[in-house]
Amino acid sequence: MDEYFNGVTPPNTASMDLQKMESFRTKFASAADVKYPRIWEMLAMNKLVSMVVNLSLSYPFDGMLLHPDSIVIPGWDAPVKTAYPNFIARNENPSWLLEHPHEWWNLRKYPSTRKYLEVLDKLLRKKLTALKDLLHRRD
């Protein structure tokens, strides 16, 4: 999946999927496995600010080149609910900003696909509003 973030074609990347083989075991890939700068890192190299939201392979933050004013909220594959900079996860926003509704299979919670999509739509609208607020506070 590297090519979606940095333009490098899959045969030239170290990870071609969200999983990797390590000592005959399958493990989830992480940001540490991406061997080429991602677009937000290229922006940071040029002293430009970016906002990365819900992208796979965007955690852990250490090892990534990030502009101090950039915002990163990792995707579903992050093992912890966190954000960069850290104050977003600690203070700024409720936990729903970091939530990912993966219980689409839970028929008690979502008796129909339509119900799940309604909940997802409501959550995404709340997230977009919060992210717009964060952007405006940074201006």
Read off the pLDDT of residues 23-71 as tens digits, 9 standing for 90 and up: 777 777 777 777 788 889 999 999 998 888 888 888 888 888 899 888 8
What pLDDT is recorded for position 91? 63
Per the structure, how many domains does the chain have? 1
Of 61, 59, 55, 71, which Cα lies nearest the Cα of 29? 59
What pLDDT is recorded for position 76? 77
Average pLDDT, the chain: 76
Cα–Cα distance list, 134 to 1, 59, 80 (Å): 28, 20, 21
What pLDDT is recorded for position 102? 65
Domain of residue 117: give its range: 3-138
Averaged pLDDT, 109-125:
84
| Token duo for residue 121 | 């739509």
| Per-residue pLDDT at 111 exceeds 60 | yes
Stretch (H or E) spanning 48: none
High-pLDDT (> 90) share of the chain, %: 7
| Token duo for residue 41 | 């890192």
Q: How far is CA 36 from the centre of its chain?
A: 17
Q: What share of the chain is helix, strand, coil (3-state, %, to 5)?
A: 40, 15, 50
Averaged pLDDT, 117-139:
78
Which amino acid is residue 53, in one-letter code?
V
What pLDDT is recorded for position 74? 85
What pLDDT is recorded for position 1? 46
